[in-house]
Amino acid sequence: MKPGAIIPATAASLTSLTVTMAVMCYLACLAIGALILVDRAVTSWTSALSREMTVQVRVVRDADIAQEVEKARRITAAFPGIVEADVLDESAGAKLLEPWLGTRSLAGLPVPRLIRVVSDVNNPPDIAALEQALSQVKGARLDTHQKWEAELTRMARALSAVSYAILLLISVSAIAIVIFATRAVLQANRHIVDLLHLVGARDSYIARQIDGRFLRTGLLSGFIGVGLGLFTFLLLGLFGGGSETGVAAASRGLLFATPSIAIWSYGMLFAVPVAATFICLITARITLMRRLGVVT
């Protein structure tokens, strides 16, 4: 008897298992892709926040705001570890208030003036000393964006935990599906198994004949899921809009990243077929050996 002839290639239970596992692998690819995109986006945002700071100069009574802004700029630009200090125009502060106050005129409000500060990553400035130096400027306050960086990091950890939880649930569901499919295959081919036991075939021999079908099922469903996942990210990259910071740009970055990043990203995605194959093969073998013991 040829290996694999015990279970027909068109067995309904294995066909259903292939479709179901392909959907599970597709969902796993989406979760992994989301995990990669979130990690990359947060890393980019936090690196930008860690490099940049903002000096706010508020309007103070008996002080010339223009002179105080220029004084703050000179102090900041000359401070060690600062590579750039640019005074933003008056409309910059108004734009920050638009989400709360709308586009109405803010001419009567004492909107602070802003100075964009870029620090040297290799030689960062002494923040405490810089704040002390800016205390000479009336109404000046240094904002290092540490609060926003901490919030982004906390958000990234929460989203990563959710993604890992989804992957764990998918894996548990896949194991359960393989167990039920294995039992269904044995039940549907009970007469063949009984005949093999009658002629003296061992359980390990019968399990090996069925293992090949589950091995091919795991590989096929895994690659189908990865293909659908890559196609989904490709569609998002092509039709998700032309923004350089939106979902479309992130999807394009996932598919067409630099080689050093692409190797890691595609490696995680193509680990899905390997995981699906191991889940199908190992779970099916354990279930088969236990059920065959019951059958005998």
Q: What is the DSSP letter of 244?
A: S
Give the contacts of 279 (CB within 8 A, at least 6 positions apart). 171, 174, 175, 178, 218
Question: In which band, very low, low, confident or very high, does the pLDDT at 171 lie, cut at 50, 70 and 90?
Answer: very high
Report which of residues 240 and 127 the model is more confident about: 127
| For residues 276-289, average pLDDT | 87
Q: What is the pLDDT of residue 22?
A: 93
Whether the pLDDT of residue 11 is over 60: the answer is no
pLDDT in tens, 221-262: 999 999 998 888 888 777 655 555 555 566 666 666 666 667
Report which of residues 155 and 239 the model is more confident about: 155
Whether the pLDDT of residue 175 is over 90: the answer is yes
Whether the pLDDT of residue 4 is over 50: the answer is no
The rounded distance, in Å, linking the Cα atoms of 212 and 17 is 14
Report which of residues 2 and 68 the model is more confident about: 68
* Coarse DSSP helix, strand, coil percentages of the chain, rounded to the nearest 5 percent: 70, 10, 20
- Parallel, antiparallel, or unpaired: how do β-strands 140-143 and 113-119 relate? unpaired
Beta bridge partners of 287: none
Q: What is the pLDDT of residue 9?
A: 55
Report which of residues 110 and 155 the model is more confident about: 155
Question: In which band, very low, low, confident or very high, does the pLDDT at 296 lie, cut at 50, 70 and 90?
Answer: very low
Phi, psi dihedral angles at 202 (to 5 degrees): -85, 160
Report which of residues 91 and 133 the model is more confident about: 133
Question: In which band, very low, low, confident or very high, does the pLDDT at 181 lie, cut at 50, 70 and 90?
Answer: confident
What pTM was computed for the model?
A: 0.70
Q: What is the pLDDT of residue 1?
A: 41
pLDDT in tens, 192-213: 777 776 777 677 777 777 777 8
Whether the pLDDT of residue 155 is over 90: the answer is no
DSSP output for 71-113: HHHHHHHTSTTEEEEEEPPHHHHHHHHHHHHTTS--TTS-PPE
What is the percent of the chain with per-residue pLDDT over 70, rounded to a whole number? 75
The rounded distance, in Å, linking the Cα atoms of 89 and 68 is 15
Q: What is the pLDDT of residue 272?
A: 92
The rounded distance, in Å, linking the Cα atoms of 49 and 116 is 11
Q: How many residues are there in the chain? A: 296
pLDDT in tens, 89-119: 767 666 666 655 555 655 566 677 888 888 8
pLDDT in tens, 263-277: 878 888 889 999 999
